[in-house]
Every structure is written in structure tokens, then in C-alpha cells.
């Protein structure tokens, strides 16, 4: 039911750009909620785009999640330039190893024939550990690289799904429910209007750091993420959304 003609997808892309107010949109056929190959198609589209925009000596910061892991699974050498670095965008966000930003950054770099630096910081962090960690020389060095990243690749999740997946304490889940959180990205939880209602304390990229980035590439699909995508793009700093047909159609219906 979800496989549109290319020309229909092009039309959808035009509508989505207007609705979400984003410069660039790529839509791949299918519904990634139902079939894994759709995530890989989003991954391939992302790798193709990366090859177009990559500049010499670029640093690429990546978040965690299954969508980012799919991009890593289809990564290939980024031609033309010979020196680039992959780093995790933030400290590990309590996810399974295969879905953690560190693992994904390392895999992407091996397949792309780049370099990588990792960040070994738990998440969430207590205030005291946070203060101590940000003064550790080895952490400071990697954090500097992350903050100065040229390209950011990130996922978006449904707020409550992510809170559940991260085994978030009951009182915070309650807060997310009461404040009607809809989406999550970079450890921030957003309402339907794009307001931040909760933030996981960890080191690495903060939302305000995105302002200075040359390219922020958002990859998220599946009809179940339509509301989350709409919510994130209410405030988002993103130059490109790579999504799938099912999410795109649902966003159009909601608008």
C-alpha cells in the first residue's frame, strides 16, 4: 500500500518542505515501522547525501538509535576527501550497545575509511559527576571535537517510546506525560509545539550547538514517528530531513 511512484514521492517532498519548513527533504518508499529494509533505504539516501556534502577534514557527529545503526550498516567510503572524523554526539543514552552513538560512530568510520574518537560517559549524569567529568583532560579533548563538528547526523524518537527504552525513572515518565511530550532528540524531550519539557543531563552536543553547524541531517521514518517529526521540526535546526513515505503521508494528513 505504501510504494508510490517516484513522481508522487517528489510531490510529497515539496509538500513536506512547506509543512515542516525545512530546506531539503528526501522521502524513500515504504514504512520503516513495518519493514527493516526501509530504514536501510533511508540509510543509503543519507550516505549518498553525505558523499555530496562532505568536505576535507570534516568532523561528523552521530547520535544513537536503530535508524542511525542502519546508516552505519550501509556506510561506504566517502570518496574524494581523505581525512574525516566520526564522533558520538552525546554521552551514551542508556541504550543497547548496538544502538549507542559510540558503537555507531566507530562502525561508520571503519566502513567510510575515516577516523573516530569515542566518549566514555554514562548517561544520565549526576550534577557532581558532570562537573568532574567536564574537567577531565581526555574528555575535554573529545568534547571539543564534538562541539566543533561540521556535520551532525541524528534520529528522532517518540517521547514515551524513548523514555521507556531508556528505563527512565517513573517520576520523569510521569512528568513527560503531564507535560505532553511528543518527541525526543539529543536527550531533549519536546511538546507538540516544539517546547523543551525535559532534558537528560549528559555531555556532548546541546541543542544550542546546532546553530553553528554547517549541516544537520535528520533521519526518521515510520508512520508512528509522524507526530514526533512534526514536533521536532517546530523548533528544529535541521537542513535536511530523510524520511519514508509512511511518515510523510501521515504528516500530510495531520496538517
- The site for ligand F6P (CB under 6 A) is made up of 63-67, 93, 95, 154-157, 162, 184-186
**Cα–Cα distance measured from residue 125 to residue 8, given in angstroms and rounded to the nearest whole number:** 46
Q: Is 132 helix (H, G, I), strand (E, B) or coil?
A: helix
Minimum separation from the CB atom of position 166 to ligand F6P (A) = 7
Q: Which is nearer to ligand F6P, 8 or 197 (CB)?
A: 197
Closest to ligand F6P by CB, 12 or 200: 200
Helix crossing, 36-53 with 66-73: angle to 10°? 70
Of residues 6 and 97, the one with the C-beta less far from ligand F6P: 97
CB 47 within 8 A of CB 20: no
Residue 208 CB, nearest approach to ligand F6P (Å): 16
Report the alpha-carbon distance of residue 175 to residue 239 in Å, rounded. Answer: 31
| Closer to ligand F6P by Cβ: residue 64 or 124 | 64
The nearest distance, CB 81 to ligand F6P, in angstroms, is: 26
Min dist. Cβ of residue 90 to ligand F6P (A): 8
State how far the Cα of 133 lies from the Cα of 110, in Å rounded to an integer.
28
Q: Report the DSSP pairing between strands 215-219 and 196-199.
A: unpaired
Nearest-approach distance from CB 101 to ligand F6P, in angstroms: 7
**CB closer to ligand F6P, 114 vs 155:** 155
The four Cα atoms 89, 168, 185, 150 give a dihedral, to 10 degrees, of -10
Amino acid at each position: 500500500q505504501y510504494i508510490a511512484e517516484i513522481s508522487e514521492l517528489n510531490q510529497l517532498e515539496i509538500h513536506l518542505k512547506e509543512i515542516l519548513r525545512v530546506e531539503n527533504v528526501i522521502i524513500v518508499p515504504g514504512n520503516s515501522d513495518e519493514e527493516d529494509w526501509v530504514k536501510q533505504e533511508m540509510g543509503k539516501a543519507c550516505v549518498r547525501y553525505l558523499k555530496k556534502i562532505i568536505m576535507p577534514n570534516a568532523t561528523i557527529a552521530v547520535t544513537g538509535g536503530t535508524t542511525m545503526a542502519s546508516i552505519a550498516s550501509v556506510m561506504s567510503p566517502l570518496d574524494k576527501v581523505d581525512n574525516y572524523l566520526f564522533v558520538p554526539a552525546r554521552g551514551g543514552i542508556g541504550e543497547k550497545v548496538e544502538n549507542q552513538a559510540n558503537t555507531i560512530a566507530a562502525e561508520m568510520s571503519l566502513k567510510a575509511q575515516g577516523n573516530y574518537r569515542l566518549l566514555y560517559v554514562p548517561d544520565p549524569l549526576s550534577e557532581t559527576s558532570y562537573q568532574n567529568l567536564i574537567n577531565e583532560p581526555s574528555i575535554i579533548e573529545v568534547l571539543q571535537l564534538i562541539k566543533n563538528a561540521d556535520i551532525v547526523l541524528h534520529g528522532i524518537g517518540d517521547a514515551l517510546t524513548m523514555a521507556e527504552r531508556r528505563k527512565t525513572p517513573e517520576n520523569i515518565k510521569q512528568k513527560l506525560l503531564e507535560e505532553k511530550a511528543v518527541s525526543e532528540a539529543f536527550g531533549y524531550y519536546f511538546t507538540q509545539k516544539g517546547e523543551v519539557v525535559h532534558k537528560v543531563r549528559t555531555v556532548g552536543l546541546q541543542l544550542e550547538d546546532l546553530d553553528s553547524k554547517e549541516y544537520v541531517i535528520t533521519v526518521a521514518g515510520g508512520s508512528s514517528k509522524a507526530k514526533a517529526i512534526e514536533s521536532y521540526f517546530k523548533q528544529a535546526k535541521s537542513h535536511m530531513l530523510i524520511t519514508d513515505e509512511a511518515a510523510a503521508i501521515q504528516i500530510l494528513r495531520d496538517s
